Amino acid sequence: MSLRARFLNSLLRQTEKRILARATDPAVLRGNIERSARLFFHPPRGTRFSNISLGAAQIAAVEITPPGAVAGPLILYFHGGGYLFGSPRTHRAMVAHLAARTGMRAVLPHYRLGPEHPFPAAPRDALAAYRGVMDHTGGVILGGDSAGGGLVLALLAQIGALGLRQPIGTFCFSPLADLTFSGGTFITNAKADPLLPAERAAEMAQMYLQGADAADPRASPLFADFTGAGPVWVTAATTEILLDDSKRIADTLMMQGIDVTFVIERDLPHVWPIMHGLLPEARQTLTELTGWITSLSRL
């Protein structure tokens, strides 16, 4: 672990983790992450951002075109934020760096958030967004982080159940795969996690679920059927409360015959690749993911 990572872990515990532990209004959380994104997360020079609509449902989205984009697969990426906050604006810089490395265009949908739009609004929007791009000539690569990682895994299961065209591959950073919170690292890593306060998880989930079954596979893809899906790449860090979500979803996928690449890193903050401008480990992870994505696009 780099000195920068040690410093950032300490800083996050003193600042962002405390904010997440105390804030009760999603609007406060939304404002905080939007401000942080503007200050610390910057896309490569020459990146073009366009507001578009996807499919018959007209899902609003941001399209990212990197410098020197080439014809090929499209990255469809779903942002994290506990289904309550986050947006394409907060994640577009990280995805723009991935787009620049791969030479691929990317699309980030504005899926609906709770508590204003409770479950199953988000998975419905995700499916509608995918229908809008699934016939892309070069194919589609799905991606997401945290809640967006859970959302993209739930989408992958829905794609198979509905018999839709499969994506080329799917990648997830620290996915939230189990809203029943049965993973042991919610307890064992509660203090070690530099960013996420475990004690708020159930409360925030109920703001999204509002009485719906947490074990519904669209909410908790840990319980989904992925038969027939393409390769999946998952990463998480040893100190995350979501580590067991990543471990168990990787095991579930492998038991169902899916080709899984599972990468565990030591002592890094939740969804560290978003901190590409601050952490060498973030840039290294994006480099490794780029290699995986480009290997798929050549198949």
Helices (H), the chain: 3-14, 16-22, 26-40, 88-102, 121-133, 147-162, 185-188, 201-209, 243-255, 280-297
pLDDT of residue 124: 98
Confidence of residue 299 (pLDDT cuts 50, 70, 90): low
Whether 11 shows a pLDDT value over 90: the answer reads yes
pLDDT of residue 71: 84
pLDDT of residue 1: 79
Whether 171 shows a pLDDT value over 70: the answer reads yes
Confidence of residue 48 (pLDDT cuts 50, 70, 90): very high
Which CATH number characterizes residue 33's domain? 3.40.50.1820
pLDDT in tens, 199-239: 999 999 999 999 999 999 999 999 999 999 999 999 999 99
d(CA 107, CA 140): 10
pLDDT of residue 112: 98
DSSP-assigned letter for residue 231: -
Confidence of residue 297 (pLDDT cuts 50, 70, 90): low
User: Are residues 209 and 238 in contact, defined by beta-carbon separation less than 8 angstroms?
Assistant: no
Amino acid at 53: S
Confidence of residue 298 (pLDDT cuts 50, 70, 90): low
Cβ–Cβ contacts within 10 Å for residue 91, how many?
27
Per the structure, the complete domain to which residue 214 belongs is given by 3-297
pLDDT of residue 35: 92
Count how many domains the chain has: 1
For the annotated catalytic residues, the residue numbers are 146, 240, 270
Whether 275 shows a pLDDT value over 90: the answer reads yes
* Percent of the chain as helix, strand, coil, to the nearest 5: 45, 15, 40
DSSP-assigned letter for residue 5: H
| Short-list 212, 294, 217, CA closest to 249 | 217
| Paired tokens of 288 | 């490794």
- pTM over the 0.95 mark: yes
pLDDT of residue 24: 86
| Paired tokens of 274 | 């978003």
